[in-house]
Amino acid sequence: MAGRKVLIVYAHQEPKSFNGSLKRVAVEELSKQGCSVMVSDLYAMQFEPRATRNDIVGCLHNSEEFNYGMETLEAYKRGGLSSDLIEEQKKVQEADLMIFQFPLYWFSMPAIMKGWMDRVLVPGFAHEFPNCYDSGLLKNKLALFSFTTGGSEEMYAKGGINGDIRYLLWPMQHGIMHFCGVKVLAPHICFAPEYVSEEKRKEILIAWAQRLRTLWNEEPIICSPEWYFK
């Protein structure tokens, strides 16, 4: 949809990887629609994942005992967060949709992307009690987790050895995005692309482009335990 703004937060070390291809397909397809696309290429940016005192410019609110949540809230309010965080927060603020593109590492996102969540979505900016969940400060935005797995679809089926893939989506979709008020679109999961033919990989990329064409008509998922654990 022309005019919409999309932020792709991307975490893969290798541009030639399948995640790299998925990211490129999204940039191309969304640009073609007239969307304005921003990309945070975390490894290329050498994005800092560690939540430390360095995220606060100038004096601490309480220099006796460092509390990251409290210090980032205070720093956010006085404009005293480090410039890399302010930069990312601007992109989030502008975005109508955030796409997180990554290979699944240990039933979750890679640490570099978890660090983006830990450091960018600070209190005051993304949530501030009681403004969480449906009244989170990032409401009216959409998010979509797009990722590749090592394991097969069968392994992530309800009776599979890894358990239903919904289970591992819970912390990311409910615990992070829903908590900030963001509505979540159905995840886009590419199972085990390393183990399929080149032709099949091309089909997967085409399917992703096709989904993106009608993405703006999709309804968000119901972010509830009933949906995840039915």
Name the residues that contact its own copies, by CB under 8 A: 13-14, 16-17, 43, 46, 49-53, 64-69, 105-108, 110-112, 114-115, 117-119, 121, 133, 150, 161-164, 167-168, 170-172, 174-176, 179, 225, 228-229
Q: To the nearest whole angstrom, how small is the minimum distance from the Cβ of residue 49 to its own copies?
A: 4
Dihedral angle over CA of 207, 205, 31, 48, nearest 10: 120
Instruction: Write down the least CB distance from residue 80 to its own copies, Å.
Output: 17
Distance CA 68, CA 118 (A): 10
State the minimum distance, in angstroms, from the CB of residue 221 to its own copies: 15
- CB 2, min distance to its own copies, A: 33
Q: Which is nearer to its own copies, 37 or 146 (CB)?
A: 146
Between 37 and 138, CB nearer to its own copies: 138
Give 142 or 176: the residue with its C-beta nearer to its own copies.
Answer: 176
**Closest among 176, 172, 155 to 164, alpha carbons compared:** 155
Alpha helices by DSSP H, 40-176 = 68-77, 83-94, 111-120, 165-170
Residue with Cβ nearer its own copies (179 or 216): 179
Tokens of 134: 């449906």
Q: Which is nearer to its own copies, 85 or 121 (CB)?
A: 121
116 in Cβ contact with 88 (< 8 Å): yes
Task: List the Cα angle 206/147/93 in 5-degree steps.
Answer: 100
Minimum CB distance to its own copies, residue 26 (Å) = 20
Question: What is the DSSP-derived secondary structure letter of residue 187?
Answer: P
